[in-house]
Structure 1
């Protein structure tokens, strides 16, 4: 078990564990060690965890997934190569996975089976080569409020994390989260209590600073193992190596975003003109029983603009009117829209007689119930310190 760096104490525990579970789980020592490490070498807790796993496999017909054919590739991924220690490296473009559409179209059952099949495929293919841990690059570029604002998306992602922690212990060598947007703060805050300390210690998080995360990736993974789109030199039919993706090649421009404006954190923005002597408005409806956050960020080109948010027929103003110097710095904020009804975001250019204003904005109504935390409390460059 040199690849897992087993200690003398761990080797002894593995021998004891095999005497307890060997008949129901006749797997190599490396597999037994993973369950033990997940429970800090506690034989009783490790046995309980393993038995629950075997029951989960039976209830979810995991063994039959080898013959199952998914109706489509829900969440594409690729085995891009190996790191400098010969561990496999997988790239997951999570920011481009449209999880919300999968849920809204009613495809959640086959999508979950697809995820289980993916995990089984990765683990069985690596285990057959005597490798028991792998590296994952999770690219969150493009993951915005549209995904995180949907309760079922959040719950689904957290449920999958729970399944992973309970049934695939210690298969993760290291996870590099790159291009993490602001919305990742919220997701990671919810996910942290579900992850054990060993898993948390393997996660390295980077924001959109490409130079920083590329330096770390190239430190542990050779450039010829990484597609050019992520800073490597790996050859392929295009810079994404789209011919290597799981089950079928991706479209050549899968990772190129067009006809939209994106900020440095990967959030999608709209660009509009506010005519002289005019206003533009965005309406957002909060239904009874919904806990919602209305967030905004905007900037203008060259000149200021009037800004306010009011409720109903100007019944009250959560954000009172002000002239904002958004041409000098971005203006952003959020508040809890806890009253059901219509909220109107208004940009006012009526005071300008001749000059239209170019407005770049990102506005969204997040139908979630936020816990008590600061959206900026998590450093997106933890790995740099």
Structure 2
């Protein structure tokens, strides 16, 4: 035989049924550690292409549901939330959606050098935010305008309801700001 019975007992093979293999992964891996494309809630893993120089933290704060804002993103549209953050500040976000996935991206625009295109920190990737709350934390490398983008441009007919909260912890003080 190619594999011994002992080795074969350690192997599980799943077909194309996404629900089966996702639930099997979640039995062994905590959702915070598993990328959202595999059914987890980690938006800081490599399925999100991260620009060099940015520090995406592995541990993320969980915000109470009461702090989350509700937003309806129409089909084919994006919802962008822009805010100014100083260098060294920590930005944290949580979001979830009802019933369907949503695209998520993070960009930066240097206010000291206006006219330049926004730099993409996290490229847009569809997140299974309807399965788990998506969480992320970033340490800003430069002062400027940061934008969190919820992207529903891939959907032609369905609007998406999202709930989100964003916080910034200023580098120069212990002050934490809720970004609304």
Q: Give the TM-score normalised by structure 2.
A: 0.54
Alpha-carbon displacement from aligned partner over 1:92-112 (angstroms, at most 9, x marks no partner): xxxxxxxxxxxxxxxxxxxxx
Matched residue, 2:68: 269
Tell me: CA distance 1:351–1:298, structure 2 relative to 1, closer, same or farther (3 Å). same
CA contact (8 A) 1:291 1:368 kept: yes
Determine whether 1:303 maps to 2:100: yes
Shift of 1:262: 4.3
What residue number does 1:279 align with? Answer: 78
Q: Please identify the structure whose Cα radius of gyration is greater.
A: 1
Q: 1:285 and 1:317 mapped to 2: Cα distance?
A: 16
Unaligned ranges ≥5, structure 2: 1-60, 110-115, 174-180
Aligned to 1:350, the other structure's residue is in SS state coil
Deviations 1:293-332 (A, max 9, x none): 1110100000000100011155422212101011111110
1:365 to partner: Cα distance:
2.1
Aligned residue number for residue 294 of structure 1: 91
Cα distance in 2 for residues equivalent to 1:369 and 1:330: 29
Mapped contact 1:295–1:334 kept (Cα < 8 A): yes
Equivalent position of 1:354 in the other structure: 157
User: Which structure has the higher relative contact order (CA within 8 Å, separation 6+)?
Assistant: 2
Query: Which structure has greater strand proportion?
Result: 2
How far apart are 1:368 and its partner, in Å? 3.0
Aligned alpha-carbon RMSD (Å): 2.5
Aligned pairs (5 A) from 1:124-143: none
| 1:310 and 1:345 in contact (8 A); partners too | yes
Corresponding residue to 1:368 among 162, 171, 174? 171
The one of 122, 126, 129 equivalent to 1:323 is: 126
Distance 2:117 2:102 in 1: 19
Q: Distance in 2 between matches of 1:320 and 1:314?
A: 14
For residues 185-334 of structure 1, what are the structure 2 equivalents within 5 Å? Answer: 262-263=64-65, 268-287=67-86, 290-312=87-109, 314-334=117-137
Q: Which has the higher helix share?
A: 1
Q: Which residue in the other structure is 1:254 paired with?
A: none
Rounded Cα–Cα distance in structure 2 between residues aligned with 1:284 and 1:316: 15
Contact 1:284 1:365 in 2 (8 A): no
Matched pairs, number: 108
- From 138, 145, 162, give the equivalent of 1:335: 138
